[in-house]
Amino acid sequence: DLMRQFDSQVNDFMDSLIEESATLEPAPLPAVFSPPLSDKERNKLRCCHLTDPRSVFFFLLSNHKRLMSRILCSELFEVNHIRTIYHMFIALLILFILSTLVVDFIDEGRLVLDFDLLVFAFGQIPLVVCTWLCMFLSVLVVPFALFHLWSQTQSENHSHPRLCSVLFVSIYLLYQFFALGFLPTYIVVTNSLPPASRFIVIMEQVRLMMKAHSFIRENVPRVLTWAKDKTGPSPVLPQVSQYLYFLFAPTLIYRDKYPRNPVIRWGYVATKLLQVLGSLFYAYYVFVRLCIPQFRSISLQLMDVRATVLCIFNSILPGVLVLFLAFFAFLHCWLNAFAEMLRFADRMFYKDWWNSTSFANYYRTWNVVVHDWLYYYMYRDFLWMSEKRFKPAAMLFVFTVSAVVHEYILAVCFGFFYPVLFCLFMCFGMMFNFILHDQRKGPIWNIIMWTSLFLGHGVIICLYSQEWYAQQYCPIKEPSFLDLLKPQSWSCQRGPAVD
């Protein structure tokens, strides 16, 4: 009650200060805020000079929730209650390790520490590194060079600027779809890379494609505005150092400048990278103790409704653990480690998604980095092209793009097409987005959201694992196109169990 009263009084005081600051003359916006501020925040910024201490105070007050969320995201695991949950997960990892060692000692009479699953999953690492290096160098050179060459054709001295624009757009799209889209996928498929190695290549492929699009999307309007207004002798174009920093920065929204920290805390970097490594071993023990024994026994049975239902509910625990591990390892540890090494100050990679009472809020807060890209380059651009007449269609378009990309990643990484995630995303995800909307408040809606997440991840772990074993037991020597689209787990007659 005290905090609610305090927040209400601060909001009232903030509104009065904003009204007072609106009488000041507008000033140009600084280009150091990323992810990009909302239109409301930008309007507030335009009302004040950031060189004026009073105006800085106005801005801090008007954005106190956003700034506090950034602080909370970076310091979340310093809270005692959250650290207790973190310690509980470490204790569970210790029990997984002890359980594995005890079972190995009882079955084999010795300690087995070969980590065969990790060795298999991350095989052919030299090929992965070479593929990534080629992708990165191409993204560093091609979009940057194409943009600078295109910008030179937009001056008055050039006779056919529109024809050059069509030519450069065609070359850029061919590069995106062939060099970045087709070639890495062809390499991982033809060389039969294992799942984790495929995941590294495909995730980097998607990330670099999104980065290249953001760079072009943010800088092309700058050149077009200059060509129209002729405000100077030449447009201010980004430097290669700025573009190189953006390719490594933990954001998908290009800016010439980002907020920077003064120093690098190398101890913090080492801690986060060690936590990523610990999460990797945690996932290994989750699969070894909870997934492989279960699906090895299920693989000896015919697939029916009873076995599938039992499989789904038995898969909820490993599904939830994988969800938490993916969030902690990537969104918290990996991105924070890179942000610290680059002195990248804006650490809002996620918000308090665990408190969501609606799926609409969950989608916005689970992965802020990807959400910002989808919102600015898919949702808002769709509305801009349709003149803001089809908001439901824009939302459906964003959901479809996200679902297709997620399913593409899983299909290539696992080596088979089984659109479970796509159906969950497009059917239940869209439905829950409208049913569990932002007007839903109260603890019961948070419980419903968590129950849906747990059940959904149980379905994903169960069905994809069943299909993985079916692909191993019942391989098709010369599959037709229809055979590739039909799940093997629906018709596979299991034989003796194999790993």
How many C-beta atoms surround the C-beta of residue 80 within 10 A? Answer: 6
Q: What gap in Å lies between CA 75 and CA 330, rounded to an integer?
A: 16
Q: What gap in Å lies between CA 456 and CA 440, rounded to an integer?
A: 20
* Nearest CA-CA partner of 61 in 1, 12, 5, 2: 12
Q: Choose the catalytic residue: 64, 213, 406, 437.
A: 406
53-62 helix and 2-21 helix, angle to the nearest 10 degrees: 130
Q: What is the token pair recorded at 468?
A: 């993985």
Q: What gap in Å lies between CA 202 and CA 196, rounded to an integer?
A: 10
Query: Is the CB of residue 479 less than 8 Å from the CB of residue 292?
Result: no
Instruction: Give whole-number Cα distances, 445 to 36, 206, 263, 359, 435, in Å.
Output: 30, 33, 42, 10, 11
Our answer to whether residue 457 is catalytic in this structure is no
Residue with tokens 């665990």: 354
* Nearest CA-CA partner of 465 in 303, 330, 305: 303
Residue with tokens 């890209």: 373
Number of H helices, E strands in the chain: 24, 0
The one-character DSSP state at 288 is I
- What stretches of 191-315 show up as alpha helix (H) in DSSP? 195-229, 240-248, 266-286, 292-298, 305-314
Give catalytic residues, as residue numbers. Answer: 406
